[in-house]
């Protein structure tokens, strides 16, 4: 295809014979670049990018609602400032994905109203079980989200790290902050070891709830 286009250019503009070979090379380079990014069509790339942004926006929206639920119950307790700090970072994450959705013209998930209620409820209910319940919820949620970011980072690295450099920087930064939240949850989970109920039980409950949410989300998205 590249040679044919170059030959056609040479015929149309005989004075550009030298340029036609440059043109052929350029087309060839474009094709090689396209092939090295995994033979994906523009439509497939757009669909993949849309999905990443939509899912991450939904996840950050849900995380915000979970911390809102925790703060409603534990905002004035000793762990209030710790939860508030994590929530503030989640607000920044959500703001960034709001901007990316506008920039890439991505529609939000139809599940936002569901995430609004379910996220807040999950945060509030686990917080009502105590500080340990809230921190166990944080550990489960943040482990899930950071794992999710890692999968996306791997996908984009395999496709075209240079093309997606900016998005990769964002995902890596957020992944690191989610891991910090995870570790904060673990630290406070361990500090609260004198409480009667074991954190693992809450984690199992939260992980199962998140799995349920993900299943519902994948059906409706």
The Cα-based distances of 87 to 81, 93, 128, 163, 194 in angstroms read: 10, 10, 18, 31, 26
Answer yes or no: is 34 a known binding residue: no
**For residues 10 and 119, which CB has a smaller minimum distance to Fe ion in the complex?**
119
* List of residues contacting Fe ion (CB under 5 A): 60, 63, 90, 93, 142, 178, 181
Paired tokens of 5? 């286009």
60 appears as a binding residue in the annotation: yes
Nearer to Fe ion, 63 or 100 (CB): 63
- Cα separation, 85 vs 197, whole angstroms: 26
Shortest spacing between CB 170 and Fe ion, in angstroms: 11
- Kindly tell me which of 24 and 209 has the beta carbon lying closer to Fe ion: 209
Instruction: In angstroms, give the least distance from the CB of 184 to Fe ion.
Output: 9
Nearest residue to Fe ion, by Cβ distance, number only: 93
- Nearest distance in Å: CB 144, Fe ion: 10
Give the integer Cα–Cα distance in Å for 93 and 179: 14
Instruction: Tell which residue, 97, 92, 95, 93, has the closest CA to residue 51.
Output: 97
Residue whose CB is less far from Fe ion, 44 or 187: 187
Coil, helix or strand at residue 64: helix
Q: Is the Cβ of residue 90 or residue 189 nearer to Fe ion in the bound state? A: 90
Give least dist CB 115 to Fe ion, A. Answer: 13
On whether the CB atoms of residues 141 and 189 are closer than 8 A, the answer is: no
Q: Helix, strand, coil proportions of the chain in percent (round to 5)?
A: 85, 0, 15
- Within the chain, what is the greatest distance between any pair of CA atoms? 86
Pick the closer one to Fe ion by CB: 9 or 210. 210
Q: Any binding-site annotation on 188?
A: no
> What's the closest the beta carbon of residue 160 comes to Fe ion, in angstroms?
25
Left (φ > 0), alpha (ψ -120 to 50) or beta: where does 9 sit? alpha
* 181 assigned binding-site residue: yes
Residue with tokens 């497939």: 44
- Report whether 142 contacts 178 (CB < 8 A): yes
Q: What is the smallest separation between the CB atom of 93 and Fe ion, expressed in angstroms? A: 4
Q: Known binding site: residues?
A: 60, 90, 93, 142, 178, 181
Q: Known binding site for Fe cation: residues?
A: 60, 90, 93, 142, 178, 181
């Amino acid at each position: 295809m590249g040679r044919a286009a170059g030959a056609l250019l040479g015929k149309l503009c005989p004075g550009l014979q030298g340029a036609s070979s440059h043109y052929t090379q350029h087309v060839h380079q474009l094709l090689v670049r396209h092939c090295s990014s995994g033979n994906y069509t523009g439509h497939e790339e757009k669909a993949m990018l849309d999905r990443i942004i939509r899912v991450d926006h939904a996840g950050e929206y849900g995380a915000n609602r979970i911390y809102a639920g925790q703060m409603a119950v534990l905002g004035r307790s000793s762990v209030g400032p710790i939860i508030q700090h994590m929530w503030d970072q989640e607000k920044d994450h959500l703001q960034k994905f709001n901007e990316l959705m506008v920039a890439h013209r991505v529609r939000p998930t139809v599940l936002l109203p569901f995430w609004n209620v379910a996220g807040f409820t999950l945060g509030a209910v686990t917080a009502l079980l105590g500080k340990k319940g809230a921190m166990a919820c944080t550990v489960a949620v943040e482990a899930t989200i950071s794992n999710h970011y890692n999968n996306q980072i791997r996908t984009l690295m395999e496709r075209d790290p240079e093309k997606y450099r900016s998005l990769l920087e964002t995902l890596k930064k957020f992944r690191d902050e989610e891991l910090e939240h995870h570790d904060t949850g673990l630290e406070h989970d361990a500090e609260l070891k004198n409480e009667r109920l074991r954190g693992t039980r809450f984690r199992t409950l939260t992980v199962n709830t998140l799995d349920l949410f993900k299943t519902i989300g994948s059906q409706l998205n």
